Copies of this chain bind each other. A is one copy, B any other.
Amino acid sequence: MKKQIAIIGLGLIGGSMAMALRGFEDYELVGVDRDPDTLAFAAAHGVADRLTDDAPAVLSQADVVYLCLHPRGIVRFLEANRDRFKPGALVTDVCGIKTAIVEGAAVLPEAVDFIGGHPMAGRETSGIFHADGALFRGAHYIITPGPRSCPSHVALLERIARHIGCRDVVNTTTQKHDAIIAYTSQVMHIMAVAVCDDPDLFDCKGFEGGSFRDCTRVAALDVPLWTELFSMNAPALCTVIRTLEDNLRAYREVIESGDTQALAAKLAWSADRKRHMNLE
């Protein structure tokens, strides 16, 4: 019997993951979703080798389980199905926070190996109808193995990352992941929505350039998903927002002061940091 990878939740990310995993080694791909329209679309587009709405039946056979639900959905799923996973299985996820997820996975029996994962890719759309097998190309695939994680499972995730086109695998802790992601991803989304709250938003048609389009691109976000991501990482995220408020105020104050030499020096300092980051 072939080894099996079960993908639980065929939304944008789960559907894209199933498509990207096609042809991965000798695994059979099993797609699981509760929504009949999603399953019908997945069947029509050959998204997986087998499709079902019966997660419990799949879990006992699956060698690898990809949990592609929203964060609280993952925690609830682990809790509800804790005794159904196959001993020796690798269970992983794809969501944008890791500490709360790995804490939730503590309910699993010792024989089940949970390794948190975060392939850093997304879209401003949701659902399998927007899924794309090329979604992960060039993305970082972050994983957070624990001290008892099986090295062969880490190696398996690295082979998967390569297969789906990721640029590299970044191995880190859940705490570091959540602190840095608050900065590199979450606050970018907060900025995008905050920019769209400006009263001038609807006057700006015809005046927008590349930087405005880039910044606001992610503002049309999936509200239930991002509400969970933000609130489940609130302390780290609020620290980053506060720093950004301070840094913006510092720029405003030097501009208001009329001291153009001080402004030039401040801009040079920031621009050098950006150039330096690019070189590292």
Write the residues of chain A forming the contact surface with B, with a CB cutoff of 8 angstroms: 120-122, 139-140, 142, 168, 170, 172, 177, 179-181, 183-185, 187-212, 214-221, 223-224, 226-228, 230-231, 234, 237-238, 240-245, 247-252, 255-256, 258, 260, 263-264, 267-271, 273-278, 280
Contact = CB atoms under 8 A, between A and B. Distances in A.
A207 B248 contact: no
A260 to B, nearest CB: 5
B184 A263 contact: no
Contacts of A237: 255
Residue among A142, A180, A197, A238 with most chain B CB within 10 A:
A197
Contacts of A206: 140, 142, 168, 170, 172
13 contacts: A122-B210, A183-B204, A183-B207, A184-B204, A188-B209, A193-B274, A196-B273, A197-B269, A204-B277, A214-B214, A231-B258, A241-B252, A244-B248
A79 B189 CA distance: 45
A185 B212 contact: yes
Contacts of A242: 252
A264 B190 contact: no
B217 A214 contact: yes
Given A190-B251, A219-B271, A220-B275, 6 more contacts: A142-B206, A183-B207, A191-B191, A223-B271, A227-B267, A248-B248
A209 B204 CA distance: 26
Nearest to A139: B209
Contact of A245 (B234, B245, B267, B276): B245
B212 A188 contact: yes
Contacts of A142: 206-207
Q: Which 3 A-B pairs have the closest CB atoms?
A: A193-B270, A214-B214, A188-B211
Residue among A187, A189, A217, A255 with most chain B CB within 10 A:
A255
A241 B248 contact: yes
A171 to B, nearest CB: 9
Residue among A183, A185, A211 with most chain B CB within 10 A:
A211
A231 B215 contact: no
Contact of A211 (B189, B199, B205): B189
